[in-house]
Structure 1
């Protein structure tokens, strides 16, 4: 079975599109690095004045984005009545692992592959320790993502192991916050999306139907409030910026739209998807986990 075919061996446009999307960031980074190396006369290339550092950050950002996308597959396939979406969950998870490995490899390049220094930096810098633990967890999930591993471990044990992805998500988000220092706009946004995804899972586990617009609107509002609370707490605890200014910034749109509003908009967009869902094909039963007797 190739990455662009389904289990029956037929060409899958969905898998092919996801495969292309998975490769594009890496191809862009390679092209940007090559362009910068060739254009030696230019003082600053596409990756800025510190190209390796920028590439490290971008690889890490894409690792988190693809990890979030893999977590979005399960709720979206229920909400959108798109069972075939499950075909790309493994691909998205493996892509997140590959970008995380690229993130570490580029860090090693930046340190000129000085193994002793790399190990000491990871051991002594808390945010690097957290990131390395998250990477180790992704490696464990990636190496057991094959059909053979599922058969060897058994469905129940495999599910227990892969539920570790939620802990990995928390560690990855925390790593993103700490390494970003003062500017935590994107880490806050990623944390908000993670909250949104976890609320979908919690609602399903508690028996709420993810086809209900009221449930989805409630999740969107709760996730947005949680995002604002995370941003408030971070600035209040980790920086010298008065957190009250952060809350006030969420009500002003002159300079930027705060992450909480993007999370709310995304949640409401998913609600709209649920509203148009009945127009497309045969619906799955609108039941939560307890009612359906299924796992999340």
Structure 2
């Protein structure tokens, strides 16, 4: 199937937009490198850059199904495979740059000895497995049920990637906390939508409040366990705004914004049966696994 066209052969503006947006960070990185703007440690900066975009595209991949249902935009499903493969591409580049920077022998030793590197390498390996089975031929060979079960691993990858992000960030965990909060919100949407249930805009608003609370809890827990910072001061920062909006606030704002926008358009109708839903999801081909 052509990159920029639907199965029918018709040009797809949606696919084109998704494909272009998935490669823009790579183009940006090349531009920074060509202009010497990666700082005093360009390899390290490039490694962090690609890892950050890998986890961002993973979050976008998981967000496709909730957004498609809430906004009644079926053609968003094109983004699941594209963004999933983008997450794989940036994760693989992230690991490759690390190996080039450290040398194969030292990199392998570090991955074995350092737990956060081991976690990251496992996440990349699982992404490779999902990417290798994200195409129509693999879907047909595995069958819808087995394929969806395999691709449920994307949720484990999200957890592993977030833990890796936390551990390598050390003191400043603002962005890892934000990503953890977004994943928690997406996981909550999946749980709320199980059994053929529609998540209404009001339900999405409720999930946003719960997701924000969980995000604040994750931030408190991290500082309590990994640093000497008083976790109660961290919690207080979510209400005083002395340090600017905290990740929990951003999760709440994002979730409520989605809920408000979804209220404008009715939620998409659910498939008539679970079997139909599973077959339809499999034939779209994506690295997200079973829909949230």
TM-score for the superposition, normalised by structure 2? 0.91
Mapping of 1:37-116 within 5 angstroms?
Answer: 46-111=37-102, 114-116=103-105
> Contact conserved, 1:70 with 1:93, CA < 8 A, in 2?
yes
After TM superposition, give the deviation of residue 274 of structure 1 in Å. Answer: 1.4
Cα separation, 2, equivalents of 1:201 and 1:189? 19
Number of the residue aligned with 1:42: none
What corresponds to 1:263 in structure 2?
251
Question: How far apart, in 2, do the equivalents of 1:109 and 1:286 lie?
Answer: 47
Q: 1:1-296 counterparts in 2 under 5 A?
A: 1-36=1-36, 46-111=37-102, 114-205=103-194, 208-210=197-199, 212-278=200-266, 284-285=268-269, 296=291
Distance 1:146 1:236, change over 3 A: same
Aligned to 1:41: none
- In the alignment, the residues of structure 2 paired with residue 199 and residue 206 of structure 1 have an alpha-carbon distance, to the nearest angstrom, of 14
- Say which SS state the counterpart of residue 10 (structure 1) adopts: coil
Contact kept, 8 Å, 2:237 with 2:243, in 1: the verdict is no
Gaps (5+ residues) in structure 1? Answer: 37-45
Higher RCO (C-alpha 8 Å, min separation 6): 2
Which deviates further from its counterpart, 212-221 or 55-64? Answer: 212-221
Normalised TM-score (structure 1): 0.90
- Alpha-carbon distance in 2 for matches of 1:2, 1:92: 17
Number of the residue aligned with 2:284 = none
Q: Is this contact kept in 1: 2:271–2:277, CA < 8 A?
A: no
When the two structures are aligned, how many residues end up with a matched partner?
279
Find the residue that maps to 1:196 and give its secondary structure: helix
Asked if the contact 2:238–2:245 (Cα under 8 Å) also holds between the matched residues in 1, the reply is: yes
- Give the 3 Å change call, closer, same or farther, for CA 206–225 of structure 1 in structure 2: farther
Is the partner of 1:127 in helix, strand or coil?
helix
For the Cα contact (< 8 Å) 1:204–1:288, is it kept in 2? no
Look up the SS of the partner of 1:5 in the other structure: coil
What is the Cα-based RMSD across aligned positions, in Å? Answer: 1.8
